[in-house]
Amino acid sequence: AQKITQTQPGMFVQEKEAVTLDCTYDTSDPSYGLFWYKQPSSGEMIFLIYQGSYDQQNATEGRYSLYVHKARKSANLVISASQLGDSAMYFCAMRETKALNSGGSNYKLTFGKGTLLTVNP
């Protein structure tokens, strides 16, 4: 079963407007983290914003805001005042605990399929 779902393969937004990128997640791990990454055509994965399962308030980093609705298991990214440089692929990701055969545990980051955002002038 897919754990991270991004249902918008592509989105368009006018420069200076706000845009919401959708993400839903599924986990039974009580301790998890939700992340958004930006990947321009150059290939680098750029960390944008994070919110943990125990955080009470939604996160904001500059023009990026992450709205998590636990009952709906959604983790939507809002980009305000879009800029041409925001055109890129955006990935939602979830970090869960993975039990190891050795008896310990480690953390696994799983990505959604991504949303390609195009900002129009």
Partner 1 sequence: DTEVTQTPKHLVMGMTNKKSLKCEQHMGHRAMYWYKQKAKKPPELMFVYSYEKLSINESVPSRFSPECPNSSLLNLHLHALQPEDSALYLCASSQTRGGGTSPLHFGNGTRLTVT
Instruction: Single out the residue of 13, 23, 35, 66 in contact with partner 1 (rule: CB under 8 A).
Output: 35
Q: C-alpha angle with apex 60: 74 to 46, nearest 5 degrees?
A: 85
Asked whether position 64 contacts partner 1 by CB under 8 A, the answer is no
* Number of alpha carbons in the 13 Å side-chain half-sphere of residue 102: 3
Query: What 3-state class would DSSP assign to 5?
Result: strand
Q: Which stretch binds partner 1 (CB under 8 A): 16-24, 31-39, 64-72, 80-88?
A: 31-39
Asked whether position 108 contacts partner 1 by CB under 8 A, the answer is yes
Asked whether position 109 contacts partner 1 by CB under 8 A, the answer is yes
Residue written as token pair 């636990």: 70
Q: Which stretch binds partner 1 (CB under 8 A): 18-26, 65-73, 74-82, 88-96?
A: 88-96
Count how many residues are written for the chain.
121
